[in-house]
């Protein structure tokens, strides 16, 4: 079964990678994937004046170019100007990039169309009436399934005018819009501090007050400062935020850079900033003593903090992320509209309240313990761990399948029945309250921020009191409804409609599962998302088997095998998303040369040639997910394969000629030569371990 599950995951990885790297629309080696030109915001330039000339890139669909820091792989666009004497060109103004996650890598760049403006200044001696031609050689790396270096010789002719030139009717506004939206320094204070859990980057300032910071992201200028592929945990505060970044090479060996510079994208805007070493200031996150409505956090007081917590818990019920779980409880209470069921409704209301309060206290205890241990965690930390997110996603899917009627969990989620089933209903209500808190906690409602920030700067007893108040506020609406017979009597009477209602409530749960899958994709990339999808299929199969077993049991059968099979499949699904990945295998390589290939083939050895480059995203993904695996390493050793690397990072002419001879304009290219001569076999540009192993086995037979 583990092999079946692994096969499903592998198939999904391949599908996702092919979606991330769509095939070129033109034959490889012939197509231009970027159309470049120089465009200006003015129809001329006066002596001593400045004109903004932009390098315009029209990028073929499915391909992308790179930002000034390309991330884990890639290479930034470059331009070399050839200007008349006295004319000067500045640097690119870089628009904020997009995140380009590919498997285990995270890159930064552009898709579609992008303008890269440059300020060109004319000398004061420029002659009015002359026409000046601005020449430049643009070099950019464009990637999809393969990475292709492209160059263009560009030129733009402008007249020298006596006064300020008229705006260009086509390009003045697009260039002005690009400059207006480009990241700029703002009145932001930024500091960074290495911590056991990562590097804390704290940013405060008026520009961030009241901004939506849930999707904030930091793009560093230096590629060695952070591990780009790791998630950036966010702690929001009244004056800004603190991002916890996974450190890169720049923080190894106990050293830290003198500064950390880059672009913060938050609230739909982008800001340039430079952070100096230092401790995060108050107000940068919910873990510092924040200012609340003009008050210092330290002066908030236990009573005010508890009141804020109750209000925050009440408002938290209105947050969109909480609705799917509360919808389940609404379905349960709707079944107790008759007067004879009021006691059951009250029982479930209290059970729901107990589950909510105790789970809030458990989360509080975890936060307090982790904070005491020095971890940089914040409210909602349970959704910063990819395995936790994956398990929650599978749980939401299982609940949705239950509501859809694929299988039953007694009456625990519907709250109907009596006797032993009645005890199950209360237990179900308890765990519904617990589940609601786990999903609701990342949504920080109004008043919660000051209360939580104050609580986590206080002794544990005071902190627990505040979290207790938060749990009471969160659970109060349902507990009050359960104890208000007048409200319950107005609910529809139990009947056939309840089954339809229950199935309709499954769809918010499917939505919650989809949202958690999206969260995991942002955190961990396509590989972990593929594992989650495979696990989700297995969970659905387990749910179907469980429902089949229940129906057979209702007819008097003993479906032990079906029940056991459902349990094993569910356990395998969870293990798939939480089990750590194997460490990469080391492969012995040697430099490529045509002479070395000929010598090895004369010895009768299989030869694997990897045409690669450090800036090639597909190459790096293939290396991590296919080549640097134990299965491939064992196959190479078993068949005595010689592994040669043709490194094209520095654009070697001989390697370029070899690529062209095989109809390729870029890398990757993988060739396998058999033991009995003949032409090399070209492998797909997207590899899996199975593809490589089968190719090596075939090469040792031919």
- pLDDT higher for 8 or 252? 252
pLDDT for 700 equals: 83
pLDDT band per the 50, 70, 90 thresholds, residue 325: low
Q: Does residue 260 carry a pLDDT above 90?
A: yes
> What does the pLDDT read at residue 20?
38
244 and 332 part of one domain: no
Check whether residue 82 and residue 229 sit in a common domain: no
If residue 645 lies in a helix (H) or strand (E), which one and from where to where? strand 642-647
Tell me the CATH number at 75: 2.60.40.1250
* CB distance 539 to 573 below 8 Å: yes
**How high is the pLDDT of residue 408?**
76
Last residue of a domain, one of 277, 310, 331: 277
Whether omega before 372 lies within 30 degrees of 0, making that bond cis, reads no
Domain that holds residue 608: 590-699
How far is Cα 622 from Cα 584, in angstroms, rounded to an integer? 12
573 located within any domain: no
Flag whether 556 is in a domain: no
- Are 204 and 136 found together in one domain? no
Residue-wise pLDDT for 149-183, tens only, equals: 999 999 999 999 999 999 999 999 999 999 999 99
Residue 215 class from Cβ within 10 Å (0-12 exposed, 13-18 middle, 19+ buried)?
Answer: exposed
Split into its structural domains, the chain has a count of 4
Burial environment of residue 80 by CB neighbours within 10 A (0 to 12, 13 to 18, 19 or more): exposed
| Domain identity same for 458 and 485 | yes
Residue 337, in any domain of the structure: yes
Residue 690 in this model has a pLDDT that exceeds 80: yes
Of 307-311, 459-463, 636-640, highest mean pLDDT:
636-640
Task: Compute the average pLDDT of residues 298-324.
Answer: 67
138 CB-near residues (< 8 Å, 6+ apart): 36, 55, 77, 78, 79, 151, 152, 154
Structure-model confidence comparison of residues 579 and 371, the more confident one:
579
Most confident of 296-310, 401-415, 498-512, 544-558: 544-558
**Which residue is listed with tokens 């231009």?**
32
Q: How far apart are CA 224 and CA 247, in angstroms?
A: 8
Domain assignment present for residue 577? The answer is no
| Last-in-domain residue among 179, 207, 229 | 179
| pLDDT at position 632 over 90 | yes
Does residue 372 sit in the same domain as residue 332?
A: yes
| pLDDT band at 129; cut points 50, 70, 90 | very high
Contact 161, 51 (CB under 8 A): no
Cβ atoms of 153 and 33 closer than 8 Å: no
Query: Is 545 within the bounds of a domain?
Result: no
* Secondary structure (3-state) at 379: coil
Q: What is the reported pLDDT for 107? A: 94
Q: Quote the pLDDT of residue 473.
A: 86
Contact 361, 468 (CB under 8 A): yes
Distance of CA 27 to the CA centre of its chain: 32
**Residues 304 and 431 grouped into a single domain:** yes
Phi/psi of residue 183, nearest 5 degrees: -60, 135
Of the candidate ranges 73-82, 249-258, 354-363, 550-559, the one whose mean pLDDT is the lowest: 249-258
CATH of the domain at 193: 2.60.40
**Beta-ladder partners of 79:** 138
- DSSP conformational letter for 334: G
Positive or negative torsion for Cα 618, 620, 621, 627: positive
Predicted confidence band of residue 477 (pLDDT cuts 50, 70, 90): confident
Q: Is the pLDDT of residue 82 over 60?
A: yes
Rounded average pLDDT over 431-452? 64
Average per-residue pLDDT for the chain: 80
Instruction: Please report where in the chains the tokens 């005491």 appear, as a residue.
Output: 372
Q: Does residue 657 or residue 344 have the better pLDDT? A: 657
Beta strands (DSSP E) in 509-617 are 590-591, 607-612
Count of CA atoms in the C-beta half-sphere (13 A) of 368:
21
For the cut 60, the answer to whether the pLDDT of residue 21 exceeds it is no
**CA proximity to 197, closest of 231, 166, 221:** 231
- The answer to whether residues 228 and 149 belong to one domain is no
Co-location of 110 and 197 in the same domain: no
Q: Does residue 6 sit within a domain?
A: no
Whether residues 167 and 71 share a domain: the answer is yes
Q: Give the total residue count for the chain.
A: 702
Is residue 415 pLDDT above 50, yes or no? no
Q: Does 290 or 369 have the greater pLDDT score?
A: 369
Question: What totals of helices (H) and strands (E) does the chain contain, helices first?
Answer: 19, 23
If you search the block for the tokens 């599950």, which residue do you land on? 5
Residues 6+ apart with CB under 8 A from 670: 608, 609, 610, 611, 622, 682, 683, 684, 685, 687
Decide if pLDDT at 613 tops 70.
Answer: yes
3-class SS shares of the chain: helix, strand, coil, % to 5: 45, 20, 35
- Residue 599's pLDDT is what? 93
677: pLDDT strictly greater than 60: yes
Token pair listed for 469: 């108040």
Residue 691's domain is classified under what CATH number? Answer: 3.40.30.10
Residue 380 has pLDDT above 80, yes or no: no
Do 619 and 476 have their domain in common? no
The more confidently predicted of residues 409 and 164 is 164
Using CA atoms, how far residue 159 sits from 51, 83, 145, in Å, is 11, 14, 43
96 and 201 in a common domain: no
On the question of pLDDT at 409 being above 90, the answer is no
Q: Across residues 289-297, what is the average pLDDT?
A: 35
Same domain flag for 212 and 312 = no
Sheet holding 34-40, edge to edge: 34-40, 50-59, 113-121, 88-89
Residue 7 binned pLDDT confidence (cut-offs 50, 70, 90): very low
- Quote the pLDDT of residue 399: 79
Query: What's the order of all strands across the beta sheet hosting 98-102?
Result: 65-71, 105-110, 98-102
Q: Is residue 218 part of a domain?
A: yes
Asked if the model's pLDDT at residue 18 lies above 60, the reply is no
CA distance 490 to 472: 25
Residue 538 lies in a domain: no
Instruction: Please say which residue of 214, 243, 277 terminates a domain.
Output: 277
Mean pLDDT of 252-263: 87
């Amino acid at each position: 079964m583990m092999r079946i599950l692994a096969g499903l995951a592998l198939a999904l990885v391949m599908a996702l990678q092919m979606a991330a790297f769509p095939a070129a629309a033109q034959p490889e080696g012939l197509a231009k994937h970027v159309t470049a030109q120089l465009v200006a915001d003015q129809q001329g330039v006066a002596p001593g004046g400045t004109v903004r000339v932009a390098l315009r890139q029209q990028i073929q669909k499915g391909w992308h170019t790179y930002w000034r820091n390309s991330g884990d792989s890639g290479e930034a666009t470059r331009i070399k100007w050839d200007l008349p004497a006295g004319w000067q060109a500045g640097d690119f103004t870089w628009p904020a990039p997009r995140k380009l996650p590919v498997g285990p890598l995270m890159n930064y760049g552009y898709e579609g169309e992008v303008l890269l403006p440059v300020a060109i200044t004319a000398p004061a001696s420029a002659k009015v009436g002359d026409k000046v031609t601005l020449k430049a050689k643009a070099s950019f790396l464009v990637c999809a399934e393969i990475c292709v270096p492209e160059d263009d010789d560009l030129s733009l002719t402008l007249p020298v005018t006596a006064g300020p030139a008229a705006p260009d009717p086509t390009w003045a506004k697009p260039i002005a819009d690009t400059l207006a939206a480009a990241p700029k320094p703002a009145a932001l204070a930024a500091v960074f501090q290495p911590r056991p859990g990562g590097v804390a980057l704290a940013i405060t300032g008026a520009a961030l007050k009241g901004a939506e910071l849930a999707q904030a992201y930091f793009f560093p200028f230096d590629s060695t400062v952070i591990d780009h592929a790791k998630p950036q945990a966010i702690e929001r505060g009244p004056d800004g935020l603190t991002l916890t970044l996974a450190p890169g090479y720049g923080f190894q060996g106990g050293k830290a850079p003198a500064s950390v510079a880059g672009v913060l994208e938050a609230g739909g805007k982008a800001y340039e900033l430079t952070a100096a070493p230092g401790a995060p200031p108050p107000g940068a996150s919910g873990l510092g003593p924040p200012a609340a409505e003009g008050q210092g956090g330290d002066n908030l007081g236990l009573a005010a903090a508890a009141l804020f917590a109750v209000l925050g818990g009440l408002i938290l019920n209105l947050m969109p992320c909480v609705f799917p779980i509360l919808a389940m409880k609404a379905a349960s209470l709707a079944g107790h509209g008759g007067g004879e069921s009021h006691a059951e409704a009250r029982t479930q209301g209290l059970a729901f309240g107990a589950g909510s309060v105790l789970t809030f206290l458990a989360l509080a205890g975890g936060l307090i313990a982790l904070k005491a241990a020095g971890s940089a965690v914040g409210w909602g930390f349970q959704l910063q761990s990819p395995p936790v997110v994956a398990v929650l996603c599978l749980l939401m899917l299982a609940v949705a399948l239950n509501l859809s009627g694929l299988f039953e969990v007694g009456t625990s989620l519907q709250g109907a029945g009596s006797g032993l089933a009645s005890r199950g209903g209360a237990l179900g209500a308890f765990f519904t309250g617990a589940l609601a808190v786990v999903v609701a906690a990342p949504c920080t409602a109004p008043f919660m921020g000051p209360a939580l920030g104050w609580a986590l700067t206080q002794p544990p007893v005071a902190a627990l009191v505040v979290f207790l108040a938060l749990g009471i506020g969160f659970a109060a609406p349902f507990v009050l409804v359960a104890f208000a017979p007048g409200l319950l009597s107005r609910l529809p009477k139990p009947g056939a409609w309840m089954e339809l209602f229950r199935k309709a409530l499954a769809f918010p749960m499917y939505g919650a599962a989809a949202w958690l899958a999206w969260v995991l994709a942002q955190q961990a990339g396509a590989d972990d998302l593929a594992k989650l999808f495979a696990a989700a299929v297995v969970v659905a199969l387990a749910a179907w088997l469980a429902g089949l077993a229940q129906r057979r049991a209702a007819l008097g059968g003993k479906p032990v095998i079906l029940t056991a099979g459902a349990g094993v499949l569910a356990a395998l699904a969870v293990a798939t998303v939480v089990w750590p990945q194997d460490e990469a295998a080391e492969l012995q390589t040697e430099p490529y040369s045509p002479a070395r290939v000929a010598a090895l083939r004369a010895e009768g050895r299989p030869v694997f040639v990897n045409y690669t480059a450090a800036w090639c995203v597909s190459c790096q993904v293939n290396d991590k997910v296919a080549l640097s695996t134990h299965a491939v390493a064992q196959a190479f050793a078993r068949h005595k394969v010689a592994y040669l690397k043709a490194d094209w990072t520095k654009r070697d002419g001989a390697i370029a000629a070899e690529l062209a001879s095989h109809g390729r304009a870029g890398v990757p290219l993988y060739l396998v030569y058999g033991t009995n001569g003949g032409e090399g076999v070209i492998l797909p540009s997207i590899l899996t371990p199975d593809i490589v192993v089968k190719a090596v086995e075939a090469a040792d037979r031919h």
